[in-house]
Amino acid sequence: MTNHRILDVVMVVLGSMLLGCCVAAQQYFSVKPSNTTAAHGDEYAVFLCTVEDKTGKLSWEKGSIGSIIYIEDSGVSDDDKYDVSGNHFIGQYDLTIYDIVINDDDEYICKISGLLPGLSIEASGDGYESLGSENEYDGAYYGTITTQDLHIAVQAEHNCASYQCEGNNTQFTDTILSNEETLYVYFPPNEPSPCTTSLRGPTGNITAGDIVTLQCTSCSSNPIAHLTWYQNNIVLNDGISLKTYVESEYNGMRTVQYYTLTTSQYSHGFTYICEAFNDEFQDVFASTQIQLDVHYAPITENRVTNSRCATNLTEQVNIICEINSNPESVITWLDQYNETLSNDTGKIIIREKYETVLKTSILTIMSVEESDFGEYYCVARNYIGSIIQTVLFSEICKDNVNNVDARGIGFFSLFDGNA
Ligand X SMILES: *[C@@H]1O[C@H](CO)[C@@H](O)[C@H](O)[C@H]1NC(C)=O
208 counts as binding ligand X under rule CB under 6 A: no
Q: Amino acid identity, residue 95?
A: L
CA-nearest of 198, 179, 195, 176 to 187 is 195
CA-nearest of 244, 232, 221 to 273 is 232
105 counts as binding ligand X under rule CB under 6 A: no
CA-nearest of 247, 245, 253, 243 to 220 is 253
35 counts as binding ligand X under rule CB under 6 A: yes
Taking residues 162 to 181 in sequence order and writing x for each that binds ligand X by CB under 6 A, - otherwise, the string is: ------x----x-x------
CA-nearest of 332, 337, 335, 313 to 321 is 332
Q: Which of 343, 367, 394, 403 forms a contact with ligand X (CB under 6 A)?
A: 343
281: number of Cβ within 10 Å? 16
Q: Which of 16, 311, 329, 360 forms a contact with ligand X (CB under 6 A)?
A: 311
DSSP state of 121: H
6 counts as binding ligand X under rule CB under 6 A: yes
CA-nearest of 283, 327, 280, 312 to 401 is 312
In angstroms, what is the minimal distance from the CB of 329 to ligand X?
11
Using CA of residue 365, residue 371, residue 375, residue 379, what is the dihedral sign? Answer: negative
Q: Which residues contact 305 (CB under 8 A, 6 or more apart)?
A: none
Q: Which of 85, 205, 213, 403 forms a contact with ligand X (CB under 6 A)?
A: 205
In angstroms, what is the minimal distance from the CB of 327 to ligand X?
4
Q: Which of 46, 176, 401, 406 forms a contact with ligand X (CB under 6 A)?
A: 401
CA-nearest of 321, 308, 302 to 373 is 308
In angstroms, what is the minimal distance from the CB of 99 to ligand X?
22
Residues in 55-94 that interact with ligand X by CB under 6 A: none
CA dist 2 and 193 (Å) reads 54
8 counts as binding ligand X under rule CB under 6 A: yes
Q: Which of 18, 349, 392, 414 forms a contact with ligand X (CB under 6 A)?
A: 349
Angle (CA) 37 42 46, round 5°: 55
Please say which residue, 168 or 244, places its beta carbon nearer to ligand X.
Answer: 168
Taking residues 10 to 29 in sequence order and writing x for each that binds ligand X by CB under 6 A, - otherwise, the string is: x-------------------
* Site residues (vs ligand X, CB under 6 A): 6, 8, 10, 34-35, 168, 173, 175, 205, 311-312, 315, 327, 337-338, 343, 349-351, 383, 396, 401, 404
